[in-house]
Amino acid sequence: MGVYHINGGRRLNGQLNVYGGKNAILPILASVILNGSESIIHNCPKISDTDISIKILEELGCAVKYDGYTMSVDSSSADIHSVSTTLMREMRSSFIFLGGLLGRFHEVTISYPGGCELGERPINLHLEALRKMGAEITEASGFIKCKADDLKGARIDLSFPSVGATENIMLTAVLAQGETIIGNAAREPEIEDLQKFLNGMGAKVAGAGTSQVRIQGVKSLHRVEHTVMPDRIVAGTFLVAAAITGGKILLKNAAPEHMFPITYKLSEAGCTLDMKEGSIYLEAPAKIRPIELLRTHPHPGFPTDMQPQFMSLLTLASGVSVISETVFESRNKHVAELKRMGANIILAQDGTTAVIKGVGKLHGAVVESKDLRGGAALILAGLAAEGKTTVTRSRFVERGYIKIEQDLAKIGADITYEKADDKA
């Protein structure tokens, strides 16, 4: 944990490789418990959220080995069906272990999760679904206890296409009796990657990437080997880094087919893009154009995880842009920090709509990262700002980026990382 020091004003140019997706690896690691066997996973991102997932797996009794970016997990010796409160509080995605443990052991005790405080993220969708599948659930003293003598397939229609709920249902259903149908399922590419992983170990899952996912329960699962999909949010962050500094970038090991909502808005902002299989090239315009309206939505809409980075970009646009956040009501904690750097942003009283009037330049300042993507947005702003920017509380950024300072330095950024105590 530490701080980032950035001397801004350098145009970024060069090539970077995109690593495995944070939002793909976490549900995959939660599902390795299901096969009671070995799981070989390639292209694993070495981020702090992955480290926490490994600690949870080891706490459950799994044997975990990490060699480069390949992870081996043997869950045959797993015999514990509860996750400690300390680890649960480290990240929001820890709640996905609920489905895997319930599916394997038919019993689980878990506490409420932690992670970035982006607003209300109710877990009732998860619990209601599991009840329909036969789980008895009690909540007391901050703990959730689930038990099911028999898990049975059910028709579950989600009131909101929640990624976490869709994943938890999938994990619970693969070993349940009969067929489970998820209506209004989340359609994110990471759901498709989870389906590939589960089917690789013998599950029968179909429909991921559409609004209806069908899972036919099987009696047992087996060894699996899988390569994690590229991180579309990391890729988008690197593209914005080039755009905000007036530079050029070529991304390799990217998945353009997953990124059309992001690349479309970059084109609208004036960037030139060339997308081929496995790569994306971007060249920034002389001046960033404003975007009339950028509204976040579940996939295939514009991802909320890219909203803060685009806000940094639009602070330097030649006009007025509007951003409407519809997923997390507390997403915009980075606004006050961008204003410290000279940004002209008016935030609506409810905190979900921002009007950004482009300014001629940003200036360096000491700013505080308050969540993962907001921290990334402040680093991007620092790359374009005049003078020195210091971004504190790196622990948030480290949840989703592998040494972001080293990647940005490879393409010309003057950025360094200083270890410091930023637990506060």
In angstroms, the CA 338 to CA 328 distance is 19
Same fold, 2-19+230-419 and 22-227: yes
CATH number belonging to the domain at 2-19+230-419, selected among 3.10.129.10, 3.40.50.300, 3.30.1280.10, 3.65.10.10: 3.65.10.10
Lowest mean per-residue pLDDT among 123-127, 167-171, 381-385:
123-127
119 versus 168: the higher-pLDDT residue is 168
With b meaning 16 or more CB within 10 Å and e meaning fewer, what string describes 240-270?
bbbbbbbbbbbbeebbbebbebbbebbeebb
| Averaged confidence pLDDT in the chain | 94
H, E, C per residue of the chain: CEEEEEECCCCCEEEEECCECHHHHHHHHHHHHHCCCEEEEECCCCCHHHHHHHHHHHHHCCEEEEECCEEEEECCCCCCCECCHHHHCCCHHHHHHHHHHHHHHCEEEEECCCCCCCCCCCCHHHHHHHHHCCCEEEEECCEEEEECCCCECCEEECCCCCHHHHHHHHHHHCCCECEEEEECCCCCHHHHHHHHHHHHCCCEEECECECEEEEECCCCCCCEEEECCECHHHHHHHHHHHHHCCCEEEEECCCHHHCHHHHHHHHHCCCEEEEECCEEEEECCCCCCCCCCEEECCCCCECHHHHHHHHHHHCCCCCEEEEECCCCCCHHHHHHHHHHCCCEEEECCCCCEEEEECCCCCECCEEECCCHHHHHHHHHHHHHCECEEEEECHHHHCCCCCCHHHHHHHCCCEEEEEECCCCC
Band of residue 116 on the pLDDT scale cut at 50, 70, 90: very low
Band of residue 115 on the pLDDT scale cut at 50, 70, 90: very low
How much is the average pLDDT of 42-60? 94
Q: Give the pLDDT of residue 119.
A: 44
Is residue 120 scored above 50 in pLDDT?
A: no
Is residue 198 scored above 50 in pLDDT?
A: yes
34 versus 124: the higher-pLDDT residue is 34
Whether 44 is catalytic? no
Lowest mean per-residue pLDDT among 15-29, 140-154, 226-240, 371-385:
140-154
Q: Give the pLDDT of residue 1.
A: 75
Q: Give the pLDDT of residue 400.
A: 94
Is residue 138 scored above 70 in pLDDT?
A: yes
Is residue 190 scored above 80 in pLDDT?
A: yes
To the nearest whole percent, how much of the chain has pLDDT over 90?
86
Domain ranges (residues) in the chain: 2-19+230-419, 22-227
Q: Give the pLDDT of residue 114.
A: 56
How much is the average pLDDT of 365-388? 97
How much is the average pLDDT of 249-266? 97
The CATH superfamily of 22-227 is: Enolpyruvate transferase domain (3.65.10.10)
How much is the average pLDDT of 76-94? 85
| Candidates 44, 116, 146, 271; catalytic one | 116
Band of residue 260 on the pLDDT scale cut at 50, 70, 90: very high
Is residue 142 scored above 90 in pLDDT?
A: no
Residues 424, 372, 302: CA angle, nearest 5 degrees: 155
How much is the average pLDDT of 104-130? 76
Is residue 257 scored above 80 in pLDDT?
A: yes
Band of residue 86 on the pLDDT scale cut at 50, 70, 90: confident
Taking only the tens place, the pLDDT of each residue in 308-346 is: 999 999 999 999 999 999 987 888 999 999 999 999 999
Taking only the tens place, the pLDDT of each residue in 386-402 is: 999 999 999 999 999 99
Q: Give the pLDDT of residue 341.
A: 98
Global pTM value:
0.94
Q: Give the pLDDT of residue 277.
A: 95
How many other CB atoms are there within 10 angstroms of residue 101's CB atom?
A: 26
